[in-house]
Amino acid sequence: MNKSVSPVKVLVVDDQPMIVEMVCEFLEGSGYRCVPCESSHEAVERFTEDAEVGLVLCDLHMPGLDGIELVQELQRRSGKHRAFEAIMLTGRAEKQDVIKALRVGIADYYQKPINLGEMLEGVQRREVALRERQKNVQLGKLSQKLQYLSASINDLYQDLDQIRHSSPMSEPSEGTADNAAEEDVPAIFHQLSPRQLDVARLVGKGQTNYQIACELGITENTVKLYVSQVLRLTHMHNRTQLALALSPNVSAVRQKDTTH
């Protein structure tokens, strides 16, 4: 009968080779792939090289980096892009050591001589917790990709608007009407493309993104992109400021002030 093997590897770190061998043999017989290490330095190298390592069993008292310092180093190397769970093994667990270990993120600890059955249950619990953390990491990466995509789409619409605005084909023989339309808005809005100006005017009328999308035949997300572009180009902070700037009363007052 074939035993299922966990996709997560376990890094087993102890400066006593017999303990490393015993723990690895037991865990491998329980469906885990182990990466044995007899020093903190070796553990850092193996962890860095092998992205499948997600669980770390480490001794507390070791030459060089102790177990707590080792976990902190692995956390530093992982950053926000890699998750792992750590369990501490110790022959003498003083209260301050346990508290410090828990504070740095070590999830559990087992005293030597190790009860292998209890340790296995702890490893299985940490594997479940690890999978949840890995989901969150993946969601974070996906969210970042969506932000990049949104920024790319924003740039694309800006390029399209610039092409339409500068192309004679996109400006039919209604130049006088367009010039008249431009005169109806403050000069700061003259830099906008026709589509950006359409959106700005509808915002000025108090329409929602949904209403603007329906009127112009575009999606709400596209409306949001245009509103963002308009606010950035006109150096305004919100829709209310934009609406006030396009208000006929405000425009009339400005024109009156400029004539005196």
Domains of the chain: 9-142 (3.40.50.2300), 181-259 (1.10.10.10)
Q: What is the largest CA-CA distance in the chain?
A: 95
65 vs 46: CA distance, rounded Å: 15
Parallel, antiparallel, or unpaired for β 53-59 and 33-37? unpaired
Per-residue pLDDT band for 62 (boundaries 50, 70, 90) equals very high
Q: Which residue has the higher pLDDT, 248 or 107?
A: 107
Please report which helix (H) or strand (E) contains residue 89, including its range. strand 85-90
Q: Which range (5-19, 147-161, 246-260) has the least confidence?
A: 246-260
pLDDT value at position 195? 86
Predicted TM-score of the model (pTM): 0.55
Closest CA to 107 of 132, 78, 71, 79: 71
Q: Which range (22-31, 73-82, 183-192) has the least confidence?
A: 183-192
180 vs 235: CA distance, rounded Å: 24
- Kindly report the number of other CB atoms within 10 A of residue 116's CB atom: 16
pLDDT value at position 180? 46
pLDDT value at position 151? 64
**Residue 252: pLDDT above 50?**
no
Per the DSSP assignment, residues forming a β-bridge with 36 are 12
How much helix, strand and coil, in percent to the nearest 5, is found in the chain? 65, 10, 25
Q: For residue range 75-100, what is the model confidence (pLDDT) as tens digits?
A: 999 988 899 999 999 887 678 888 89
Per-residue pLDDT band for 115 (boundaries 50, 70, 90) equals very high
Mean pLDDT value across residues 110-135: 92
Closest CA to 158 of 98, 107, 228: 228
- 205: Cβ–Cβ under 8 A, 6 or more apart, which residues? 243
CB 13 within 8 A of CB 59: yes
The alpha carbon torsion through 68, 72, 77, 78 (nearest 10 deg) reads: 100
